[in-house]
Amino acid sequence: MGACNRKQELFKQDSVHRIQYEILKSTDGYDKIPIVSLEQAVLPLVHFLPQIQTYVHLIKHKCANPADGLTPDESASIMLYSIGWQPLDECLYVVLNSTLQSMNQHSLKPWLLYLKLLFTAVLHLPSIHLTVYRHSKSALMKQYDEDEIIVWWEFSLCTTSIEPFKSEQCSDKIETRTLFTIECNTIKDIRKHTYFQSDNSLLILPGTQFKVILSIEQDLNLHLITLQEIQSSFLLQTETPAIKPRNSFKKLFSCKKESKKLGTSHKTSISNGSYRNTSIEQLIVESGRSWTVDLDEQHITDQDIKIVVKHAIIKNRCKRIRLRDNHITSLGALTLAEGLNNNMVLESLDLRNNYVSDLGVKYLALSIINSNLKTLNLESNGITTEGAQYLAEMLKNNQTLTELYLSKNHLGDRGVKWLTNVLNHDKKNYQDQEYNGSTTVFAEFSCGRDHFKDKPVTSRSKTAVTPESIGTVRELVNIDPHITCQQIEDTLQIGSAPIDIIVHDYLGLKKVTYRWVPHSLSAAQEHDRVDYCLQILEKFDGGKLKRVYDIITGGERWFYDYDSKTKHHSQIWMASNDSHPTKSGFTTSIPLENVLKQVEKHRRLNGLLIHHDNAPAHGAAMSTMNPSILQHLYLGHNDITDVGIEHIAEMLKTNRMLTWLWLSGNKIGDRGVEQLASTLAYHNSSLEWLFLNSNKAISDSSVDALVHMLKRNHSLKTIYINNCNLSDGAKKKLHEMTKLKKDFDLEV
pLDDT in tens, 696-734: 999 999 999 999 999 988 889 999 999 999 999 999 999
Q: According to the model, what pLDDT value does residue 460 have?
A: 37
How far, in Å, CA of 628 to CA of 426, rounded?
11
Q: Is the confidence at residue 500, as pLDDT, over 50? A: yes
For 572, phi then psi, to 5°, come to -125, 135
Q: Is the confidence at residue 363, as pLDDT, over 60? A: yes
Contact 331, 302 (CB under 8 A): yes
Chosen CATH of 125-240 out of 1.20.1740.10, 3.20.20.220, 3.40.50.300, 3.90.176.10: 3.90.176.10
Top-confidence residue, 459 or 286: 286
How far, in Å, CA of 423 to CA of 421, rounded?
6
How far, in Å, CA of 145 to CA of 471, rounded?
67
Handedness of CA 375, 379, 381, 385 (dihedral sign): positive
Q: Which long-range contacts (CB under 8 A, 24 or more apart) does 444-453 make?
A: 445/517, 445/614, 450/564, 450/565, 450/566, 450/568, 450/569, 451/564, 451/566, 451/568, 451/569, 451/614, 451/615, 451/616, 452/568, 452/613, 452/614, 452/615, 452/616, 452/619, 453/615, 453/616
- Across-strand partners of 632? 403, 660
**Cα–Cα–Cα angle for 537, 543, 548, nearest 5°?**
65
Top-confidence residue, 464 or 664: 664
* Least confident span in 1-15, 64-78, 158-172: 1-15
Burial class (CB in 10 A: 0-12, 13-18, 19+), 462: exposed
Q: Would you give the DSSP letter of residue 211? A: E
Q: Which long-range contacts (CB under 8 A, 24 or more apart) does 478-487 make?
A: 478/261, 479/261, 481/572, 481/573, 481/574, 482/571, 482/572, 482/609, 483/573, 484/611, 484/617, 484/618, 484/619, 484/621, 485/616, 485/617, 485/618, 486/454, 486/617, 486/618, 486/619, 486/620, 486/621, 487/618
Q: Where in the chain is the domain with CATH 3.90.176.10?
A: 125-240
* Least confident span in 152-156, 389-393, 590-594, 660-664: 590-594
- Across-strand partners of 611? 621
Q: Is the confidence at residue 587, as pLDDT, over 80? A: no
The reply to whether omega before 87 is within 30° of 0 (cis) is yes
For 486-514, what is the mean pLDDT? 69
For 444-455, what is the mean pLDDT? 42
How far, in Å, CA of 166 to CA of 171, rounded?
9
pLDDT digits (tens, 9 = 90+) for 95-130: 988 887 776 667 788 888 898 899 899 988 988 999
Q: Is the confidence at residue 519, as pLDDT, over 80? A: no
How far, in Å, CA of 686 to CA of 680, rounded?
9
For 229-255, what is the mean pLDDT? 50
Residues in the chain: 748
Nearest to 122 by CA among 49, 202, 42, 196: 202
Burial class (CB in 10 A: 0-12, 13-18, 19+), 59: buried
Q: Where in the chain is the domain with CATH 3.80.10.10?
A: 255-410, 632-747
Residues in contact with 224: Cβ distance below 8 Å, sequence separation at least 6, in sequence order: 178, 179, 181, 214, 215, 216, 217, 218
Q: Is the confidence at residue 563, as pLDDT, over 90? A: no
Q: How confident is the model at residue 472 (pLDDT cuts 50, 70, 90)?
A: confident
Our measurement of the distance from residue 466's CA atom to the centroid of its chain's CA atoms, rounded to an integer in Å, reads: 28
Q: What is the CA radius of gyration of the chain?
A: 32
For 31-50, what is the mean pLDDT? 84
Burial code (b: 16+ CB inside 10 Å, e: under 16) for 514-551 equals bbbbbbebeeeeeebbeeebeebbeebeeeebeebeeb
CATH code reported for the domain at 255-410: 3.80.10.10
Top-confidence residue, 234 or 556: 234
* Least confident span in 35-39, 484-488, 576-580: 576-580
Mean predicted lDDT score pLDDT of the chain: 73
For 265, phi then psi, to 5°, come to -90, -5
Q: According to the model, what pLDDT value does residue 24 have?
A: 53
Q: According to the model, what pLDDT value does residue 701 have?
A: 94
Q: According to the model, what pLDDT value does residue 702 have?
A: 93
Q: How confident is the model at residue 537 (pLDDT cuts 50, 70, 90)?
A: low
**Cα–Cα–Cα angle for 678, 656, 699, nearest 5°?**
30
Q: According to the model, what pLDDT value does residue 572 have?
A: 54
Query: What one-letter code names the amino acid at 303?
Result: Q
Q: Is the confidence at residue 592, as pLDDT, over 60? A: no
Q: According to the model, what pLDDT value does residue 317 have?
A: 85
Top-confidence residue, 378 or 99: 378
How far, in Å, CA of 205 to CA of 188, rounded?
8
How far, in Å, CA of 660 to CA of 663, rounded?
10
Contact 670, 641 (CB under 8 A): no
How far, in Å, CA of 63 to CA of 72, rounded?
5
How far, in Å, CA of 715 to CA of 713, rounded?
6
Superfamily of domain 632-747: Ribonuclease Inhibitor (3.80.10.10)
Top-confidence residue, 480 or 725: 725
Q: According to the model, what pLDDT value does residue 90 have?
A: 84
**pTM score, whole prediction:** 0.53
Q: Is the confidence at residue 372, as pLDDT, over 90? A: no
Q: Is the confidence at residue 289, as pLDDT, over 70? A: no
For 515-533, what is the mean pLDDT? 48
Q: How confident is the model at residue 646 (pLDDT cuts 50, 70, 90)?
A: very high
Q: According to the model, what pLDDT value does residue 371 have?
A: 84
Q: Is the confidence at residue 685, as pLDDT, over 80? A: yes
Q: Is the confidence at residue 255, as pLDDT, over 50? A: no
Q: Is the confidence at residue 456, as pLDDT, over 50? A: no
Tell me the DSSP string of 587-598. -EEE--STHHHH
